Amino acid sequence: MAGTHFTMDAVLAQQTERTRGSSTSQLKQLIAESDSKIILLENEMAALESRMAALVELRDLERATGDAFRFLAAPIRTLPVELLAEIFLLSIRELDLKSGFIYSMDWHIQDAFRVSHVCRRWRQIANTTPRLWTGPISLDLEGPRHGQEGIYLNGLDTWLARSAPLPVPITIVTLEKGSRSNKSDSRALDALLCISARWRSLRFVAFSPAQGWFVQRLTGCRLDCLEELFLSSLDHDSADSHFDGTAILSFMTASRLRKVAFNSSCGIPMPWAQLTDITLGDILSPETFCNIFSQCINAVKVSISIRWLLPPPARRDALALNQLRVLSITWVGHEIHGMQFLHSLSALALDELRLFFEDGDGTDWDEATLTAFQLRSPNITKLKIEGDGMLVPSHALIAVFRHAPCLTHFSIVDCPDSVDDHFCQALCYTDGVEPLVPRLHTLAVAEFRGNLSQDGLANTIASRWWSDADAELASRSGPPVVARWRQIRLRDDSIYQGFGFSPKFRETMNALQETGLDVDLVDVEFWELDW
């Protein structure tokens, strides 16, 4: 409403002049006349407001009519329900765990509810499309609710109901025994347990002794759809005194379970024979490894940690894991003979081998043992070594290459003096000379020392690279018998006064980049491999 264009002082001055010499009775008569005018004006305003309200209602009705016409004319209205449901599914943002943006964990939930609130027709389609509601459910039993526990629980119940009968992934972020004796949290856990037969995965993402308490509640539960299980750091020592993992048999009857990550020391029985992806978080002795993995006849991917506190036991026949494709081994502590663990294993189909050494500066590289393992696993294409200061002589790496004819990817990290001139000369390709690792096309090195000629490294890289328009390639006696580089990552530690590449080397790499070679000199702070 517009402001008045007068002031009380001005009105008072005007009426004072007008009524100068008037008696009290005359002033009272003027007051009565003014009050009557006010009543008349208010009546007129009420009539106008009533008319205005009627006009507003007519306008809103006409707007709704126009929106209805637009809806009837919209091309999307003619789409079949099935196609519209597929469009809804494509509009849902996927969970991106690598983004580091914690709020992205809820985007798929927001998107699903948003689509279901556009209009009644869309709501009907969304609510009857279970796939729209099968994104990961993350239950944080200690997160702030700001007094909205009822809304949270109703949303959880709605999500679980609309996803039926399809499986859903379940993640529990934090958990306290008895769920803090909070009724709303207990109700949330009960809601999850009621649909345990529809869990596609169960994951704990934070340490909590109450994991054992919760897992014990699964006794007798059906886990018909469970495919993946992640129990974080649950072990016998971290659980309470009443925890008895051996009595939890629910996972033994989970016929679809294929992927597990947990500590075997918790004692929970597992259907080892059907598992294909196994990560054990506790440190295994060779005997424990053999006892467990002799049952894992279908293991395809395995990640374990090994420690030997005693001298290596007498040799036994190597355990054959004929389906194994990816093997990751971490040696924990200073172990002089630790690599002899490899004598206990044979993996004919092995494709990727990852060797990690904690406190590697106290461990000896066992060339003979690894060579024997390679002969039993001749199809390795990817090899990753992380030494944590472990000394791996260049001649040992050259021996690895000699017994890896299928190798395509090689990465070595934190192994001082491993990559020297001998290493570079061995990889350098020369026409007419039989090359080492002829299929190698991806190389990552993160540790250089002074025993390296940067010119030699540049020549090695250039010897295995040519562009499609390379004139020199046409002049060769025949096509190269080595693979062309696809990706090279070299770590630059100069930011911490470590090894740094010379301007000449950088200039050479930039020139190769311009011809199409994917080569990066990566600062130590940003070092990360994507394979």
Distances in Å between the Cα of 104 and the Cα atoms of 92, 94, 117 are 12, 9, 20
Two tokens, residue 340:
């002899």
What is the per-residue pLDDT across 387-403, written as a single tens digit (0 to 9) for each? 988 889 999 999 999 99
What is the per-residue pLDDT across 477-520, written as a single tens digit (0 to 9) for each? 667 899 999 999 999 988 777 788 999 999 999 999 999 999 99
| Number of helical (H) and strand (E) elements in the chain, helices listed first | 15, 16
User: Which of 55-64, 85-94, 474-483 has the highest average model confidence (pLDDT)?
Assistant: 55-64
Phi, psi for residue 242 in degrees, rounded to 5: -90, 0
What is the per-residue pLDDT across 160-191, written as a single tens digit (0 to 9) for each? 999 999 999 998 876 655 444 466 677 888 89
| Strand blocks (E) in 447-527 | 487-492, 519-523
What is the per-residue pLDDT across 346-378, written as a single tens digit (0 to 9) for each? 999 999 999 999 876 667 889 999 999 999 999
Residue 238 pLDDT more than 70?
no
Phi, psi for residue 411 in degrees, rounded to 5: -135, 135
Q: What is the structure's pLDDT at 210?
A: 61
Residues 6+ apart with CB under 8 A from 256: 224, 225, 226, 227
Q: What is the structure's pLDDT at 367?
A: 93
Between 216 and 229, residue with greater pLDDT = 229
Residue 473 pLDDT more than 70?
no
Q: What is the structure's pLDDT at 149?
A: 75
| Residue 114 banded pLDDT, cuts 50, 70, 90 | very high
- The whole-chain average pLDDT of the chain stands at 87
- Are the CB atoms for 227 and 198 separated by under 8 Å? no
What is the per-residue pLDDT across 437-448, written as a single tens digit (0 to 9) for each? 999 999 999 988
Q: Which of 4-13, 84-93, 318-327, 357-366 has the lowest mean pLDDT?
A: 357-366
| Residue 230 banded pLDDT, cuts 50, 70, 90 | very high
What is the per-residue pLDDT across 24-38, written as a single tens digit (0 to 9) for each? 888 899 899 999 999
Residue 112 pLDDT more than 50?
yes
Q: For the chain, which residues make up each domain, given as ranges?
A: 74-133, 137-269
Q: What is the structure's pLDDT at 266?
A: 86
- Are the CB atoms for 409 and 382 separated by under 8 Å? yes
Residue 237 pLDDT more than 60?
no
Distances in Å between the Cα of 304 and the Cα atoms of 37, 72, 231, 369 are 93, 61, 15, 18
Residue written as tokens 């006849």? Answer: 297
End-to-end CA separation in angstroms for the chain: 67
Q: What is the structure's pLDDT at 180?
A: 46
pLDDT (mean) for 105-127: 89
